[in-house]
Structure 1
């Protein structure tokens, strides 16, 4: 409301209130949380740069995870990138000779991961161009998108538009060039498997449990990403899993009885796979990543935005409610789960490259880590690739009495997959086994050898040696 000051100069601040309200509305539309104390007070200065010059209508302060701390938009971005870079360097995730494959869904997490790994690569390229000897090469980056339209149909024009947007995002990035792989999820089967789409649908529909069906698709997606990486010469696989997503996984894994293998899933590095998996956004909240996309204008798209179902859906809603009540809940869940002891494969294996090997040796000495060769062999579930505990392995003593190959396969799976995914009826189990992709059956054969070694170690103390037998 305008005042009626006849002198033409308003001293009441009524216009200023209207302008402030307008700036707040613009900031909210951009997904940025403005400082409620106002921009003119000294206490509103960014806690990192100690200056309020950047705190304006075009660059308001940003609240981080519900903390009292405030950052200007520039420092907010620098803070997130610092978390990403520290995770990469402190865990020796990327060496100059690597070729990294980024799993890209089009959402904020994978979009930020793409932007950050591109910036690290660009800096490495500038250092390479400026150096005289050019001793260290620049690591490569590729992007993979898994097409799940065989399971979750989407209109063809929407899918094609999303793919074109992804190609445009990659083409707009400065060199080095990044390869783009669009792979349908049914290619998890070999080409000689007949109608692979129908086979995949039959395989998924053989699972009655909604949670098991959703988990199986997640396991197939990971197996397919491994296949893409192996076939195209990639040495590392990077995922955009963040604190928010991992916090949901912690609760869901506890509910599903996956407590033993939980520590393996939430670390920065997971080298149980042939291509080691990296989680450089492990310490970033989904709200932070979404906000950064809005501030920097990073385009995102939702191709297969399917809501979670079953246990996963309940846990997702539960954690979301906790986060709304207390913005630090997701971080608290991760800090609690982080106290679990990691497995020996939760680090990058030593490379033949001299520089990478020296870095790995320094890290092993710093953190007092034992060489992987001196650690015991793990056994893994052929479906989810989770490490199995001694209780599950000891139950394998009954496998010799099982005649069916399908029943043998079910016996070497972890207890969670047996309950959530595997059919209970023998005939249904036979059909399920016949539809398994070759990648999973191959893992089952490799795991069977490990299980046999474990059983041999358990009974060798009870066996007679040749000399004792002769006596």
Structure 2
């Protein structure tokens, strides 16, 4: 009797589905190769590709841009980053990543405005957009005329955007010091950075001060969202540098789409885009960028950046692999926009928020943060907060109120430099060190009060 699929007791038909799948895949790949070899875009199959030598040569310019914007829009909508009632501040550094982020936000803003104008009842408001640039002239000692020219170029880029207009906020980084404090703000910033002897620690402190300045701009001008242009390439570097610096516990907080531990939640809608893709888009669309004079990284950050660039040249998927692997870490409870029942938020947006929003492990949470980098503190770091109960003003309390990485990289080891460092800290950081973590320690103490021995009790 002839063998058939219904009566055969052997395994001769077991590989048939896999063979069919392999045949189908091979046929699809062959078709795609034929399309590319014919000089046509893989997606639209009509226009020629960008370049025969480009990594994304399979797409034409229009499809390439649509693909990038689709990643951006999906990140915004699926994570409920922007609602019609929000006021978004875009951090603009002049580079390709922040330039593309500004362009995509502007495109969404213009479309929302057109829909609002076309709607008769005008039930949904249009979210607001502002642009912020942090001037770091006092840090890098760049010629004043070149920095002024860079600011003018940034202002020109923002002004050339089609209506609705966007307000530009140009603020020096020393603005993190309150104007009511005594002494020159620029001199205080210089003393603060000079007290940090480690090159990596100085770069990290400057990064934290930049974030503090952006938060201050957003808070003082009524913005409730802060949007950054961080892409896969930058996040991949951060994953490795954080690992080297011993920031593994707080790493999941920094690489998500949303970070709400700050007073103004931080958004990363370009998290799925590569740096070379953003550079290519700027060239294709003629998007102007501004090149700022910055000192190259000389510490761990610079070494890791060079290392990741070399890996990317050898294998274009390395950066994506690094970020995808780190993405398996459990996020924190603040790595999402809180669900809202606001009537101004479309129902479709609320459904996406419930479907795609992160489901963090609520037991894996932290309510205490490093007063310098604002990273969540691990249990070992929380135990060091016990010194705050006896001492809240001395430099020793600063060491107890920060994470182990900042304690090693940023805090000076020399007692004299530590005194200088603590004396010129911005008031926001001083307040955070004195009150926020001490309150968290008090809460922790209440939670374990039943397990503590009183002074009159002896250990058994």
TM-score for both structures, normalised by structure 1: 0.84
The Cα of 1:460 is off from its aligned counterpart by 3.4
Q: Secondary structure at the match of 2:279?
A: helix
Q: 1: distance between equivalents of 2:36 and 2:318?
A: 30
Q: 1: distance between equivalents of 2:264 and 2:292?
A: 26
| Backbone CA RMSD of aligned residues | 2.6
Contact 1:62 1:71 in 2 (8 A): no
Report the counterpart of residue 8 of structure 2 in structure 1.
Answer: none
The Cα of 1:438 is off from its aligned counterpart by 0.7
Q: Secondary structure at the match of 1:100?
A: strand
Q: 2: distance between equivalents of 1:398 and 1:199?
A: 28
- Would you say 1:55 and 2:48 are equivalent positions? yes
The Cα of 1:355 is off from its aligned counterpart by 3.8
Report the counterpart of residue 188 of structure 2 in structure 1.
Answer: 199
Q: 2: distance between equivalents of 1:352 and 1:436?
A: 40
Q: 2: distance between equivalents of 1:426 and 1:204?
A: 16
Q: Secondary structure at the match of 2:249?
A: helix
Q: Structure 2: which 5+ residue stretches go unaligned?
A: 1-31, 455-460
Report the counterpart of residue 45 of structure 1 in structure 2.
Answer: 40
Q: Does 152-161 or 100-109 show the bigger shift?
A: 152-161
Contact 1:100 1:238 in 2 (8 A): yes
The Cα of 1:458 is off from its aligned counterpart by 2.3
Report the counterpart of residue 12 of structure 2 in structure 1.
Answer: none
Q: 1: distance between equivalents of 2:403 and 2:82?
A: 32
Cα deviation digits, residues 50-107 of structure 1 (max 9, x gap): 22xx217xx5467446xxx711111111111111111100000000011100110100
The Cα of 1:413 is off from its aligned counterpart by 0.5
| Alignment partner of 2:62 out of 54, 74, 85 | 74
Q: 2: distance between equivalents of 1:62 and 1:267?
A: 33
Report the counterpart of residue 106 of structure 2 in structure 1.
Answer: 118
Q: 1: distance between equivalents of 2:212 and 2:311?
A: 32
Q: Structure 1: which 5+ residue stretches go unaligned?
A: 1-36, 465-471
Alignment of 1:259-408 (within 5 A): 259-351=248-340, 353-356=342-345, 362-363=351-352, 365-366=354-355, 378-402=367-391, 405-408=394-397
Q: 2: distance between equivalents of 1:268 and 1:371?
A: 13
Report the counterpart of residue 88 of structure 1 in structure 2.
Answer: 76
Q: Secondary structure at the match of 2:448?
A: helix
Contact 1:150 1:197 in 2 (8 A): yes
Alignment of 1:164-313 (within 5 A): 164-193=152-181, 194-313=183-302
Q: Secondary structure at the match of 2:121?
A: coil
Q: 1: distance between equivalents of 2:214 and 2:277?
A: 26
Q: 2: distance between equivalents of 1:413 and 1:121?
A: 39
Report the counterpart of residue 9 of structure 2 in structure 1.
Answer: none
- Number of residue pairs aligned between Structure 1 and Structure 2: 421
The Cα of 1:199 is off from its aligned counterpart by 0.7
- Would you say 1:456 and 2:446 are equivalent positions? yes
Q: Secondary structure at the match of 2:62?
A: helix
* Structure 1 residues 372 and 324: CA distance shift in structure 2, 3 A: closer
Q: Does 386-395 or 403-412 show the bigger shift?
A: 403-412
Cα deviation digits, residues 355-404 of structure 1 (max 9, x gap): 44967764564358679999965110000000011111123234445575
Q: 1: distance between equivalents of 2:123 and 2:392?
A: 58
* Structure 1 residues 358 and 434: CA distance shift in structure 2, 3 A: farther
The Cα of 1:405 is off from its aligned counterpart by 2.3
Cα deviation digits, residues 101-145 of structure 1 (max 9, x gap): 011010000100010000000000010000011010111110000
Contact 2:366 2:376 in 1 (8 A): no
* Structure 1 residues 334 and 400: CA distance shift in structure 2, 3 A: same
